[in-house]
Structure formats: structure tokens, C-alpha cells
């Protein structure tokens, strides 16, 4: 195929200057571009039996004219042609507009082909297409996205190109795989796509192209994983499994099945001779931390230091207290490092860390600063991993000698995206919540119910609870957002003047200001916290029971779900109120998904279906692969098959040793880009 990219369209025999220009206008410069300019759909002109047609169905019929065609003229330069026609055993009426040019060509007794909607009651077709000859019983016409260029001329130039250069088309896909799935050859792909004889050929093109696209993509991912494993060889970790079981039995709760399954996956990684690179995804509150803790324990038993890095001080402190409680009885030394820890105590911590007196350290970005060195870091865990850049994750990793790495994410990614987006990482998921959680009750209300909302908030606060109010953030206009937040803040301050304390949190505050406000909220010195979405990151205020989100339709579903996860963390029944004067059905449909389920995976999948993969990650992460034909939602089954095939081809080493696969290998090596960059 590479050779076809080097052949300019100018080389096609007999191509005109005008055609070259047309092709350039469509970004088609070489023969490869040309033959890969696939139709985006096909028109079906299958000749049907008129007796089997539904009312108002679009059909193509062949028959004989049985009346003198009549032209009638109306308005200025408009005209109407009508005649009767015998189709199968039925006489129907055909009407066509503005066919003046047929005047001296059409006549009684002729055989014609007519395409249009069939009105079964009037026995009449309004013809969209009328051809003065009887077409074969089948025709399928490719539809291309073309500007000022007739499809027929475009097809002709493709035909010429295929005649002249078709022998240079090679097949990346080995015969063994083509046979296994009964896929058509590469040359047939181009012949059938541009010149199909029937629907089946179109279907075969789609099967083959989709599989090839998805296989290549998955091979790329498997290749990267394999390459990384070779690079990041480590000593397998050895520990006494009975101690882990004992540790688990001593926990104050029973682990869920999903937690156990994930722990198994991780402990297995620790025993390998290559570095773990694993993403753990699970809803807010699904219990990811304990998984990290058990891994820390196994890592400790193997004789290594471990660490957890979190994006905020509050979160780091929370983890620290939790870890101290759990690890103290085992005589394991846990420390905290944040940028607020300075002077002597910082020096002591850094010293203890580098000489191995500290077993586990929890911290913020402070952990990746230069002075921080470990004696033998064996495991790193990064909480809320999306809050850190690739570089920051990398720096932390490089503080150890190929430490195992676990990344925690509370943004559930639909299965289908996990396979593509994080194909170079292993992914574990916790889909099941610990038992006994009260689901958050979610309602969608319009803004004219605000009075009742205020009464409700008042009631909850007088019962000792706290409330979040979120105002929207639109990237294009931070200024308006801020005004918005201020406006809401002032409004509620007025309402609850002298009764409750209202606080404001927004992105323009510096970290100290933010943390001060959050601390006040945590200590219930503030009862109502008005905030832009900055509150999203894993804060834990178990006493908060109401989450109000204003103009909810302006948020993505996944984001709304994240925000909702700020409540429902204590024993109190919690509520999420989505305020929205939505103006269309789709917005309504989206918000109602949240009222139906608390499961982040279900929500993510619904969101993906409604918005499509491009929008799902937002524009920032538009690095998702673009496929010509494959669609990772609808073609999920093919994606899975391709993933399994790719894993086998790469891990068996065949990609590198079996000549059948060399074309694919060359393709991948050309294509390799650091996929990590896509997600930062
Ligand atoms: P997240 O996944 O959002 O990080 P956490 O790890 O903070 O969630 O867990 C939320 C709470 O649930 C914590 O208080 C934790 O102790 C508790 N928890 C975790 N696993 C279980 C379980 N299997 N049964 C009961 N409670 C659990
Ligand atoms: Mg967490």
C-alpha cells in the first residue's frame, strides 16, 4: 500500500487537468487516497414486486408504459409528466415533475424503470428517478461526499486507477485470518466498495474493513504493552499469601466480589517479572482505596516501600489517617508529605524515606519534587489519576526501580472505550457497591420550583445536614461563570442571612483559599457551599446530604454523576436535585438517566450512546482513534474478537517471527505514537 501513496493522481492515464483539481479539492493527492475515498452510503435500487410493497415505501419498479405520456405545464417553467404503466400484473400511475427534456424521447409502450415512493391507495408513484429502459433486477449505487463532481466521473477515475495500479494493492491481513473469518481480500474491498453488484458485497466490505481497522488498532496497543514489558523488567514480588488473607479477615467489613476479583488480578501482577501498569476504575464510594491498601501491604511484605499520591491535601490527609489506622497495628510506618510540611519535619521525612525507615508515604504533588528519594520503592498508587499529567506520573514511577503502578479512576469508562482508550494498560473494574449503601435520590426540577427547593434545603440543614450548590462552568467564558457563581452565592446568603453560613468556592481561588473553605465546610462551619465544578475532586464530607446542580443540562452526564457522588457518603439519606429548564427532549432524556440509576458504568454507557465517542471524553481528549468504518459502540463484538486476536499474535511472538504478519508489523511500527500522550 505504501507504494500507492507515492503514486500521484497525475500519473493516472488520461486524467484531465480539471479532474486533478477536483481531486485535490477533496484532499485526494495519490492513488491510495483515491481508492480509499469510500462511499459513505449506498442507494439501493432493487427492483421489487409491486404487490409486496408497503404504503409509502420507496421502491424501484420496472414495467411498460401503457398510455400516451402527458405533459402539463403550470406556473412559470414548471411541468408535470404523467402516464400509466404496467408493473407485474398491476396498472399504476406515474407522475414526474420537470422532465421537459424527455418530451421527444418518451412514448407509449416503452419499458422504463421508476424509483419513488409508492402510494398504495392511489396506486401512484411520484418518480424521483425515471430511466427510459428496463433496468436489471438489481442496482446498488455508491453515494460519495463530493463537491461539484459527478459521482459517475469519480467512479470512472477510480476504475482507471484500479486497472492501472490494482496489482500494487497488497494485503496486510494474512490469509489465515482472512480464512478464519471468511473475509474478502484487499483487492475485493476496493472493487466491491466502489462497484458493488449487490448488498452482500457491501456487507463484506464493511466486515473486512472493520475487522482490519480494529485489529490494527488493538495490535498497536498490544505491541506497546509488550514493548513496555520488555523494557520494564522487575523482580517478581514474593510474600506470604496467608498474611494477606489474615489482613483481609481483620478488616471491619467484608470485601465485595468485585473487590476480591480485582485484588486477585493485582496480586497476580505483583508476581510477574514485568512492571504492573493497571487502571482501576470504579464509582465514587465503590471502595478502591482498600484495594490500594491491600496492594501496599503485599508490597510491604515483599520488602518494598510504597506510596499513594493524591491531587489535593485534603484527600492526601484523608488517606493518611485511614492508612495510619489500618497499618499501625502491623507496625508499618506511614508518613504524610505535602507542600505544607516544611522545615525540620520535612527534612526528617525525606531522610527517613531515603534510608528506608518509612514504609509507606502518602502525599500530594510534593512527592514528585526533586528532593524526594526512596530506598526501594516497589509500588506506586495514583489516586484520581486524571488529575495528573503523564509527566507527573512518569516522575513518580522513576523514583523506583520499575515499581508496579496502579492508577485509580472514579470516572467509569464504558467497556468499549476501555478497550480502545486504555488498550496499553490493563484495566480492572469495580462495578458493584458495598452492601447497605442508600442510593441517592435524584430529581429533575425546573427553576420555578426554587421556593420549594429552598424549603427543602432549610429542612435538611435544620436536621444537621449540609448542602452543595453547583453552578455551571463553561470553558469559553470563565468570567460569566464566576458572575454566575457570585450571583447564586449572594442570593442564598440573602435567604439564609443570620441563620446559616454560605461559602463560595471557585477556580480562580488559589489552593490555600480553596482548602480553607473546604476545611470550614468539613467542620460544618459552613452549611451551604456554592461552588463551580472545582469541588469535583474526591472530597469527602459525609455530613453533606444535598447536592443541587443549577442548569444541569449544561453538564455532561459523567460529570453530573461525579458531582452527585459528593453526597451519599454518610449514613444519611442523600438527594441530588438537578435544576434545569431544559428546552429539548434530548436534554430531558439525558437527565432522566440519572434519576433512574446510580451506577456510573450504566450512565457512562448511556452517555456514550447519546453523545458518541468523540464527545465523550470532551475535546481535550479527542485523541481517540478515528475509524473509517468501524464504530466502537456498534461493532463492540468485532472489537473484542480483534483484541483477543491481537493479544495472541503479539504475546506468542508471531508478529515478530511469522512472515505472514510482517505487513502488519511494518504497519504498526510506522504508526506507533506514544498513546499515553493521547490521554493527557
Ligand atoms: P472510592 O472508590 O470512591 O475511593 P473509598 O475507597 O473511599 O471509595 O471507599 C468508600 C468507603 O467505603 C470507605 O469508607 C471504605 O472504608 C468503605 N468500604 C470500602 N469497601 C467496603 C466494603 N466492602 N464494605 C463496606 N464498606 C466498604
Ligand atoms: Mg477515592
- Position 587 scores a pLDDT of 82
Is pLDDT at 519 greater than 70 in this prediction?
yes
Is pLDDT at 376 greater than 60 in this prediction?
yes
Tally: H helices and E strands in the chain: 23, 21
- Position 343 scores a pLDDT of 93
- Position 535 scores a pLDDT of 62
Ligand 1 closest atom vs CA 383: 4
CB within 8 Å of 619: residues ≥ 6 apart: none
- Position 677 scores a pLDDT of 41
How far, in Å, is the centroid of ligand 2 from the Cα of 291?
11
Residue nearest to atom 1 of ligand 1 (CA): 285
C-alpha cell at 657: 517471527
How far, in Å, is the centroid of ligand 1 from the Cα of 459?
29
> What tens digit of pLDDT does each residue of 300-321 get?
999 999 999 999 888 899 899 9
Q: Is the CB of 412 under 6 A from ligand 1?
A: no
What is the share, in percent, of the chain residues with pLDDT greater than 90? 61
Say how far apart CA 277 and CA 266 lie, in whole Å.
10
Q: Is the CB of 284 under 6 A from ligand 1?
A: yes
- Position 381 scores a pLDDT of 98
Cross-strand bridge partners of residue 335 = 361
User: Do residues 530 and 467 lie in contact, with contact meaning Cβ atoms separated by under 8 Å?
Assistant: no
Q: Is the CB of 166 under 6 A from ligand 1?
A: no
Residue 401, judged by CB atoms within 10 A of its CB (0-12, 13-18, 19+), counts as middle
Q: Is the CB of 604 under 6 A from ligand 1?
A: no
Span 492-506, average pLDDT: 92
**CA nearest neighbour of 237 among 307, 302, 305:** 302
Residue nearest to atom 17 of ligand 1 (CA): 287
**CA nearest neighbour of 611 among 636, 586, 628:** 586
Indicate yes or no: pTM above 0.75: no
Residue nearest to atom 23 of ligand 1 (CA): 255
Tell me the ligand closest to 430's alpha carbon.
Answer: 1
Helical H segments across 580-678, by residue range? 585-596, 600-616, 636-651, 654-657, 662-671
Q: In testing the pocket of ligand 1, which one of 257, 279, 290, 440 has its CB within 8 Å of the most ligand atoms?
A: 290
Span 14-39, average pLDDT: 94
Say how far apart CA 431 and CA 429 lie, in whole Å.
6
CB within 8 Å of 413: residues ≥ 6 apart: 281, 421, 422, 427, 604
Give me the long-range contacts of 20-27 (CB less than 8 A, separation at least 24).
Answer: 22/148, 22/149, 23/157, 25/147, 25/148, 26/146, 26/147, 26/149
User: Do residues 668 and 219 lie in contact, with contact meaning Cβ atoms separated by under 8 Å?
Assistant: yes
Residue nearest to atom 24 of ligand 1 (CA): 434
With residues binned 3-state (H G I as helix, E B as strand, rest as coil), the percentages for the chain, rounded to 5, are 45, 20, 35
How far, in Å, is the centroid of ligand 2 from the Cα of 580?
29
> What tens digit of pLDDT does each residue of 60-87 get?
899 999 999 999 988 878 889 999 999 9
> What tens digit of pLDDT does each residue of 287-297 get?
999 999 999 99
Q: Is the CB of 434 under 6 A from ligand 1?
A: yes
Say how far apart CA 401 and CA 227 lie, in whole Å.
17
Q: Is the CB of 290 under 6 A from ligand 1?
A: yes
Span 215-222, average pLDDT: 88
Place of cell 479532474: 19
Span 116-127, average pLDDT: 94
Give the SS3 label for residue 519. Answer: helix
How far, in Å, is the centroid of ligand 2 from the Cα of 274?
27
- Position 676 scores a pLDDT of 42
Q: Which residue has the higher pLDDT, 224 or 298?
A: 298
How far, in Å, is the centroid of ligand 1 from the Cα of 255?
9
Residue 261: pLDDT band (50, 70, 90) is: very high
Say how far apart CA 616 and CA 417 lie, in whole Å.
10
Say how far apart CA 478 and CA 519 lie, in whole Å.
25
Count the Cβ atoms, other than its own, within 10 Å of residue 21. Answer: 10
Is pLDDT at 539 greater than 70 in this prediction?
no
How far, in Å, is the centroid of ligand 1 from the Cα of 288?
7
How far, in Å, is the centroid of ligand 1 from the Cα of 291?
9
Residue 295 to residues 214, 259, 269, 326: CA-CA distances in angstroms?
34, 12, 10, 13
- DSSP character at residue 236: P
How far, in Å, is the centroid of ligand 2 from the Cα of 298?
20
CB within 8 Å of 36: residues ≥ 6 apart: 628
**CA nearest neighbour of 411 among 601, 595, 590:** 601
Is pLDDT at 617 greater than 60 in this prediction?
no
- DSSP character at residue 620: G
User: Do residues 420 and 632 lie in contact, with contact meaning Cβ atoms separated by under 8 Å?
Assistant: yes
Q: Is the CB of 349 under 6 A from ligand 1?
A: no
Pairing of strands 90-97, 124-131: parallel
Span 89-95, average pLDDT: 94
Q: Which residues surround ligand 2, an ion (CB under 5 A)?
A: 538
Tell me the ligand closest to 537's alpha carbon.
Answer: 2
How far, in Å, is the centroid of ligand 2 from the Cα of 364?
14
Is pLDDT at 136 greater than 90 in this prediction?
no
Span 571-595, average pLDDT: 88
- Position 614 scores a pLDDT of 53
Q: In testing the pocket of ligand 1, which one of 249, 287, 411 has its CB within 8 Å of the most ligand atoms?
A: 287
How far, in Å, is the centroid of ligand 1 from the Cα of 263?
14
Say how far apart CA 425 and CA 642 lie, in whole Å.
17
Q: Is the CB of 256 under 6 A from ligand 1?
A: yes
Is pLDDT at 583 greater than 80 in this prediction?
no
Q: Is the CB of 287 under 6 A from ligand 1?
A: yes
Say how far apart CA 675 and CA 680 lie, in whole Å.
10
Q: Is the CB of 410 under 6 A from ligand 1?
A: yes
Say how far apart CA 199 and CA 203 lie, in whole Å.
6
How far, in Å, is the centroid of ligand 2 from the Cα of 537?
9
Say how far apart CA 444 and CA 50 lie, in whole Å.
50
Residue nearest to atom 15 of ligand 1 (CA): 287
Count the Cβ atoms, other than its own, within 10 Å of residue 680. Answer: 14
Span 673-680, average pLDDT: 42
- Position 622 scores a pLDDT of 35
How far, in Å, is the centroid of ligand 1 from the Cα of 293?
11
Ligand 1 closest atom vs CA 436: 25
Count the Cβ atoms, other than its own, within 10 Å of residue 255. Answer: 17
How far, in Å, is the centroid of ligand 2 from the Cα of 385?
10
Angle of the 257-270 helix axis to the 288-301 helix axis, nearest 10: 30
| C-alpha count within 13 angstroms, C-beta hemisphere, residue 64 | 4
C-alpha cell at 155: 467512479
The region, left, alpha or beta by phi > 0 then psi within -120 to 50, assigned to residue 88 is: left
Buried residues in 150-181 as b, exposed as e (16+ CB within 10 A): eeeebbebbebbbeebeeebebbbbeebbeee
Span 91-120, average pLDDT: 93
How far, in Å, is the centroid of ligand 2 from the Cα of 675?
26
Say how far apart CA 325 and CA 321 lie, in whole Å.
6
- DSSP character at residue 555: S
- Position 620 scores a pLDDT of 35
Q: Is the CB of 255 under 6 A from ligand 1?
A: yes
Say how far apart CA 80 and CA 97 lie, in whole Å.
4
Q: Is the CB of 503 under 6 A from ligand 1?
A: no
Nearest 5°: CA angle at 290, between 289 and 293? Answer: 90
Give the SS3 label for residue 62. Answer: strand
- Position 476 scores a pLDDT of 54
Residue 467: pLDDT band (50, 70, 90) is: very high
**Per mean pLDDT, which range of 28-37, 229-238, 621-630 is the poorest?**
621-630
Residue 413: pLDDT band (50, 70, 90) is: confident
User: Do residues 94 and 82 lie in contact, with contact meaning Cβ atoms separated by under 8 Å?
Assistant: yes
Cross-strand bridge partners of residue 428 = 280
Tell me the ligand closest to 282's alpha carbon.
Answer: 1
What is the H or E stretch that residue 125 is in? Answer: strand 124-131
Ligand 1 closest atom vs CA 322: 16
Q: Is the CB of 542 under 6 A from ligand 1?
A: no
How far, in Å, is the centroid of ligand 2 from the Cα of 569?
11
Q: Is the CB of 293 under 6 A from ligand 1?
A: no
Ligand 1 closest atom vs CA 538: 3
C-alpha cell at 303: 520488602
| C-alpha count within 13 angstroms, C-beta hemisphere, residue 449 | 15
Is pLDDT at 342 greater than 70 in this prediction?
yes
Q: Is the CB of 506 under 6 A from ligand 1?
A: no
Whole-number average pLDDT of the chain: 88
Tell me the ligand closest to 387's alpha carbon.
Answer: 2
Q: Which residue has the higher pLDDT, 199 or 262?
A: 262
- Position 582 scores a pLDDT of 79
Amino acid at each position: 500500500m505504501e507504494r500507492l501513496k507515492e503514486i500521484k493522481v497525475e500519473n493516472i492515464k488520461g486524467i484531465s487537468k480539471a479532474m486533478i483539481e477536483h481531486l485535490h479539492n477533496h484532499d485526494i493527492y495519490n492513488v491510495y487516497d483515491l481508492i480509499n475515498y469510500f462511499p459513505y452510503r449506498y442507494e439501493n435500487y432493487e427492483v421489487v414486486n409491486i404487490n409486496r410493497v408497503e404504503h409509502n415505501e420507496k421502491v424501484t419498479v420496472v414495467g411498460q408504459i401503457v398510455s400516451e405520456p402527458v405533459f402539463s405545464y403550470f406556473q412559470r417553467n414548471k411541468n408535470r409528466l404523467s402516464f400509466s404503466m404496467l408493473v407485474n400484473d398491476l396498472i399504476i400511475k406515474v407522475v414526474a415533475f420537470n422532465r421537459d427534456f424527455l418530451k421527444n424521447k418518451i412514448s407509449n409502450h416503452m419499458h422504463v424503470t421508476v424509483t419513488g415512493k409508492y402510494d398504495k391507495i392511489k396506486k401512484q408513484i411520484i418518480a424521483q428517478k425515471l430511466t427510459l429502459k428496463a433496468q436489471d433486477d438489481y442496482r446498488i449505487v455508491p453515494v460519495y461526499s463530493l463537491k461539484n463532481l459527478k459521482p459517475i466521473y469519480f467512479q470512472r477515475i477510480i476504475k482507471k486507477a484500479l486497472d492501472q495500479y490494482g496489482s500494487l494493492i497488497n494485503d496486510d491481513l494474512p490469509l489465515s485470518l482472512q480464512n478464519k473469518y471468511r473475509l474478502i481480500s484487499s483487492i475485493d474491498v476496493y472493487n466491491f466498495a466502489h462497484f458493488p453488484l449487490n448488498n452482500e458485497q457491501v456487507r463484506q466490505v464493511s466486515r473486512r474493513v472493520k475487522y482490519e481497522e480494529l485489529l490494527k488498532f488493538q495490535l498497536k496497543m498490544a505491541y506497546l504493552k509488550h514493548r513496555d514489558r520488555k523494557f520494564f523488567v522487575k523482580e517478581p514480588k514474593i510474600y506470604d499469601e496467608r498474611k494477606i488473607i489474615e489482613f483481609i479477615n481483620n478488616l471491619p467489613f467484608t470485601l465485595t466480589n468485585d473487590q476480591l476479583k480485582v485484588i486477585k488480578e493485582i496480586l497476580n501482577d505483583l508476581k510477574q517479572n514485568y512492571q504492573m501498569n493497571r487502571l482501576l476504575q470504579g464509582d465514587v464510594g465503590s471502595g478502591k482505596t482498600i484495594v490500594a491498601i491491600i496492594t501496599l501491604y503485599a508490597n510491604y511484605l515483599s520488602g518494598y516501600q510504597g506510596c499513594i499520591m493524591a491531587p489535593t491535601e485534603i484527600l492526601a490527609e484523608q488517606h493518611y489517617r485511614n492508612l495510619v489506622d489500618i497499618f499501625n497495628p502491623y507496625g508499618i510506618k506511614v508518613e504524610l508529605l505535602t507542600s505544607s510540611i516544611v522545615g525540620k519535619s520535612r527534612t526528617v521525612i525525606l531522610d527517613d524515606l531515603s534510608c528506608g525507615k518509612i514504609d509507606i508515604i502518602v502525599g500530594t504533588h510534593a512527592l514528585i519534587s526533586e528532593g524526594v528519594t526512596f530506598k526501594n520503592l516497589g509500588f506506586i498508587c495514583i489516586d484520581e489519576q486524571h488529575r495528573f499529567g503523564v509527566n507527573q506520573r512518569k516522575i513518580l514511577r522513576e523514583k523506583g526501580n520499575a515499581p508496579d503502578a496502579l492508577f485509580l479512576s472514579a470516572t467509569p469508562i464504558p467497556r468499549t472505550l476501555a478497550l480502545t482508550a486504555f488498550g496499553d494498560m490493563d484495566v480492572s473494574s469495580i462495578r458493584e457497591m458495598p452492601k447497605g449503601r442508600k442510593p441517592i435520590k435524584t430529581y429533575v426540577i425546573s427553576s420555578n420550583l426554587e421556593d420549594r427547593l429552598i424549603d427543602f434545603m432549610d429542612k435538611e440543614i435544620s436536621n444537621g445536614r449540609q448542602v452543595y450548590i453547583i453552578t455551571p462552568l463553561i470553558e469559553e467564558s470563565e468570567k460569566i461563570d464566576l458572575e454566575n457563581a457570585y450571583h447564586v452565592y449572594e442570593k442564598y446568603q440573602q435567604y439564609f442571612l443570620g441563620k446559616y453560613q454560605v461559602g463560595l468556592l471557585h477556580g480562580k481561588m488559589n489552593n490555600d483559599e480553596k482548602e480553607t473553605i473546604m476545611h470550614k465546610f468539613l467542620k460544618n462551619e459552613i452549611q451551604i457551599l456554592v461552588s463551580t465544578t472545582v469541588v469535583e475532586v474526591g472530597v469527602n464530607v459525609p455530613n453533606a446530604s444535598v447536592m443541587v446542580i443549577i442548569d444541569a443540562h449544561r453538564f455532561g452526564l459523567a460529570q453530573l454523576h461525579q458531582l452527585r457522588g459528593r453526597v451519599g457518603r454518610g449514613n444519611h439519606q442523600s438527594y441530588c436535585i438537578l435544576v434545569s429548564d431544559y428546552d429539548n427532549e434530548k436534554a430531558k432524556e439525558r437527565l432522566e438517566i440519572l434519576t433512574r440509576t446510580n451506577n456510573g458504568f450504566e450512565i457512562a454507557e448511556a452517555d456514550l450512546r447519546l453523545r458518541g465517542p468523540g464527545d465523550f471524553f470532551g475535546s481535550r481528549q479527542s485523541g481517540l482513534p478515528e475509524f473509517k468504518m468501524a464504530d466502537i459502540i456498534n461493532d463492540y463484538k468485532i472489537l473484542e474478537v480483534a483484541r483477543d486476536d491481537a493479544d495472541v499474535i503479539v504475546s506468542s511472538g508471531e508478529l515478530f517471527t511469522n512472515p505472514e504478519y510482517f505487513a502488519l508489523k511494518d504497519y504498526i511500527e510506522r504508526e506507533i505514537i506514544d498513546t499515553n500522550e493521547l490521554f493527557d
